[in-house]
């Protein structure tokens, strides 16, 4: 299928970079032009995104990356999702009067993982120094960058709260006491100085790898950790619970943690092998959805038609129900992922897809896990609320929610990076004095009930929604893709992937097609609501599709065109031709290449 696309699919042989902000994409491409590889470019772009999209990610956040190294021939996952601190126990949070973890403030904080993840990627796969990859971000923090309209709106909405409850954030984001206007140059000189000090410590080490280790020490065992610990020792701040709380993160928590590397979770689908995180993240829901759809003739469906939307939505409802019942940190629980991805299990689930929309949350029942499933459903029935579910990036919903960014890079050597940084956004918690950034709020994804896959426990990773994708075609590393969007990330990626694989749409055409998602299952973010039977779609779907979906019982919310999803993607053909694309939605993502 061909036709008009909002932008050209970028083609080249030297390298492609696509991110959720044009400046970060340009910085990544500049790194490739200077002789860096895909990993160097991703790291530099990632630090720039912390500056130019501070409402979507920050230095105190986290990230998973799915990467392929041309040198080693391996596809791996970098897990830079920090775990819960030692003091983060259910008993402590319950004693604080909580039955659900707030979506912001200090109790929602886990160990910040992003910095170590970037440094691990740079050390093991990159070629540049800490200075070289941090200099662009330092420049934009110090000299200023044009402030996004959405960042200005977020700050404006939070200004009274910052003034009353988070004065350090008020000082950082409202310089001179004024809300910065859209497109004004915005500076964060304190953050620039933090990075300059890290760079100076790295430079003093004498060589590249030693400098990276010195930078990691500066953040996790040096002055950054010391300032975080000093602030948390006395800070007691207002959060979404309506009360003031102290945090539990300590210097020891930071000093004793580091990012890790592991094998991806994979699934084979119509000649493709899709690589995702393991079930400490929601990534396997895309794989489970594919396993269900593998027995259905998706290629015969109109990619904008009611059969496609209905079938994909119903498959995702089943996969996400299993996420609630089974997923969690495999270091703490046993996740029956082989069973969940098996054809016999998928066949059982596939038979549940009927002609009409399901209004039930229906996890499967793996033998030996029946009590766990029942316990989860009972907890959700008692705790989870129904109603509008927050989808964090879209203009038709709140400006005050944080979210995520995404980066895809492929270089001429065949190195590939798909990485989804998030957390530590300016809405998460107060700015730490002397550092210019705040901590994350990822702990809100834990439950404060015992004996569940995602029950809060010290040292346990929250079941993050961050879910980059890398796919191999007939064994050859081929496609890198992803999107921000919380619980919607794998939903939008699934539609993109199916349309690309089954309907012959190129990257840009697949990204441009009308998008949809469901909030049928409990949301991962505070206040953890669900909206059974709901489907949000762009109005650019044919009227006949919308009418038929309503007839089948779906509860539709129809939005304006170009308001759902923030996908980016990059691809490498067998002959070395590189492709890249980025969503036109929100008018800030951009693909660059030559």
What sign results for the dihedral spanned by CA atoms 533, 404, 266, 306?
positive
DSSP conformational letter for 520:
-
User: Three-class SS of residue 380?
Assistant: helix
Distance from C-alpha of 222 to C-alpha of 353, rounded to nearest angstrom: 54
CA-CA distance, 302 to 300, in Å (whole number)?
A: 7
3-state secondary structure at position 412: coil
Collapsed DSSP state (helix, strand, coil) of residue 454: coil
* Degrees to nearest 5, angle at CA 463 with 457 and 465: 150
For residues 137 and 208, what is the distance between their CA atoms, to the nearest angstrom? 19
Task: Tell which phi-psi region holds residue 391, choosing left (phi > 0), alpha (psi between -120 and 50) or beta.
Answer: beta
Nearest 10 degrees: Cα torsion 344, 350, 351, 357 = 160
Looking at residue 301, what DSSP letter applies? S
Which pairing describes strands 272-276 and 590-593: parallel, antiparallel, or unpaired? unpaired
Describe the crossing of helices 130-143 and 22-33 by its angle, rounded to 10 degrees: 140
Residue 390: predicted pLDDT: 38
The answer to whether 550 touches 559, Cβ cutoff 8 Å, is no
Burial class, 30, CB count within 10 angstroms (exposed 0-12 / middle 13-18 / buried 19+): middle
Mean pLDDT (10-residue bins), the chain, 594 residues: 87 98 98 98 98 96 98 98 98 96 96 98 98 98 97 96 97 96 97 98 96 98 98 96 97 98 98 98 98 98 98 98 97 98 98 97 97 93 57 37 87 98 95 98 95 97 97 98 95 98 98 96 86 96 98 97 95 98 96 98
Position 384 scores a pLDDT of: 58
Residue 49 exposure: Cα atoms within 13 Å on the Cβ side: 39
User: What pLDDT score does 381 carry?
Assistant: 84
Rg (CA), the chain: 22
Calculate the dihedral angle through the C-alpha atoms of 133, 136, 141, 145, rounding to the nearest 10 degrees. -140
Query: Residue holding tokens 């001429």?
Result: 412
Q: Are strands 75-80 and 260-262 parallel, antiparallel or unpaired?
A: antiparallel
Identify the three-state secondary structure at position 11. strand
Q: Given the structure tokens 């400046």, which residue do they identify?
A: 23
474, with CB counted inside 10 A (0-12, 13-18, 19+), is exposed
- What are the backbone angles phi and psi of residue 220, rounded to the nearest 5°? -100, -20
C-alpha span between 417 and 65 (Å, rounded): 7
Q: Containing H/E element for 347?
A: helix 343-350
Cβ pair 168, 433 in contact under 8 A: yes
- Please provide residue 35's backbone torsions phi and psi, each rounded to the nearest 5 degrees: 105, 0
CB 568 within 8 A of CB 589: yes
Helix (H) or strand (E) holding 200: helix 189-203
DSSP-assigned letters across all residues of 177-197: GSPPPTTSEE--HHHHHHHHH
Two tokens at 548? 């038929």
Tell me which residue has tokens 């019982």: 553
pTM score: 0.96
User: And the tokens for 577?
Assistant: 């031709």
Buried b (16+ CB within 10 A) or exposed e, 235-257: bebbbbbeeebebbbbbebbeeb
Residue 305: φ, ψ to 5°: -95, 170
H or E element, residue 326: helix 306-326
Quote the CA–CA distance of 102 and 261 in Å, as a whole number.
30
DSSP strands (E only) in 361-460? 407-411, 416-419
Instruction: Give the C-alpha separation, 579 to 551, whole Å.
Output: 39
What count of residues does the chain have?
594
Which residues make beta-bridge pairs with 272? 269, 473
Residues 6+ apart with CB under 8 A from 234: none
The enclosing H or E element of 150 equals helix 149-165
Angle at 387 between CA 362 and CA 358, to 5 degrees: 30
Instruction: Report the alpha-carbon distance of residue 261 to residue 318 in Å, rounded.
Output: 29
């Amino acid at each position: 299928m061909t036709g008009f696309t909002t932008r050209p699919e970028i083609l080249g042989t030297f390298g492609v970079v696509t991110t959720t902000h044009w400046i970060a994409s340009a910085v990544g491409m500049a790194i490739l032009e200077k002789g860096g590889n895909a990993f160097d470019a991703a790291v530099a772009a990632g630090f720039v995104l912390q500056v130019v999209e501070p409402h979507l990610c920050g230095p105190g956040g986290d990230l998973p990356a799915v990467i392929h190294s041309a040198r080693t021939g391996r596809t791996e996952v970098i897990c830079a999702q920090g775990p819960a601190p030692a003091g983060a126990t259910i008993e402590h949070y319950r004693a604080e009067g909580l039955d659900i973890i707030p979506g912001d403030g200090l109790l929602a904080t886990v160990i910040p993982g992003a910095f170590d993840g970037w440094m691990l990627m740079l050390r093991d796969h990159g070629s540049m120094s800490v200075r070289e990859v941090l200099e662009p971000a330092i420049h934009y923090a110090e000299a200023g960058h044009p402030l996004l309209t959405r960042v200005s709106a977020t700050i404006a909405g939070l200004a009274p709260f910052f003034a009353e409850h988070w004065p350090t954030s008020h000082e950082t984001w409202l310089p001179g006491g004024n809300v910065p206007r859209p497109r004004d140059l915005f500076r964060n000189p304190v953050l620039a100085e933090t990075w300059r000090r890290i760079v100076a410590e790295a430079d003093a080490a004498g060589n590249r790898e030693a400098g990276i280790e010195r930078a990691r020490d500066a953040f996790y065992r040096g002055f950054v950790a010391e300032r975080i610990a000093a602030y948390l020792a006395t800070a007691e701040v207002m959060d979404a619970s309506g009360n003031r709380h102290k945090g539990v993160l300590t210097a020891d928590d930071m000093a004793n943690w580091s990012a890790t590397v592991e094998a991806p979770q994979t699934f084979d689908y119509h000649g493709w092998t899709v690589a995702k995180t393991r079930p400490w993240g929601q990534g396997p829901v895309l794989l489970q959805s594919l396993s269900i759809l593998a027995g259905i003739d998706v290629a015969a469906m109109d990619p904008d038609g009611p059969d496609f939307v209905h079938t994909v939505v119903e498959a995702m409802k089943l996969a996400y129900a299993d996420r609630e019942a089974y997923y969690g940190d495999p270091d703490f629980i046993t996740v029956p992922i082989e069973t969940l991805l098996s054809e016999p299990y998928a066949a059982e689930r596939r038979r549940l897809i009927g002609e009409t929309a399901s209004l039930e949350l229906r996890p499967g029942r793996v033998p030996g896990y029946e009590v766990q499933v029942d316990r989860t459903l009972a907890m959700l029935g008692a705790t989870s609320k129904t109603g509008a579910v927050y989808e964090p990036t879209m203009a038709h919903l709140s400006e005050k929610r944080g979210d995520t960014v995404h980066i895809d890079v492929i270089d001429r050597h065949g190195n590939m990076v798909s990485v989804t940084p998030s957390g530590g956004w300016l809405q998460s918690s107060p700015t730490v004095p002397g550092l210019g950034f705040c901590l994350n709020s990822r702990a809100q994804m834990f439950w404060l009930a015992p004996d569940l896959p995602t029950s809060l426990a010290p040292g346990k990773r929250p079941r993050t929604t961050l879910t980059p994708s890398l796919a191999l075609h007939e064994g050859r590393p081929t496609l890198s893709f992803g999107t921000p969007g919380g619980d919607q990330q794998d939903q939008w990626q699934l539609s993109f992937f199916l349309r690309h694989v089954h309907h012959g749409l190129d990257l840009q055409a697949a990204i441009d097609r009308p998008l949809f998602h469901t909030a049928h299952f409990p949301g991962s973010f505070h206040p953890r609501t669900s909206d059974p039977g709901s489907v949000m779609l762009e109005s650019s779907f044919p009227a006949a599709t919308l009418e038929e979906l309503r007839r089948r019982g779906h509860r539709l919310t129809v939005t304006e065109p170009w308001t759902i999803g923030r996908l980016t993607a990059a691809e490498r053909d067998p002959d070395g031709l590189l492709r890249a694309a980025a969503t036109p939605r929100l008018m800030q993502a951009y693909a660059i290449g030559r």
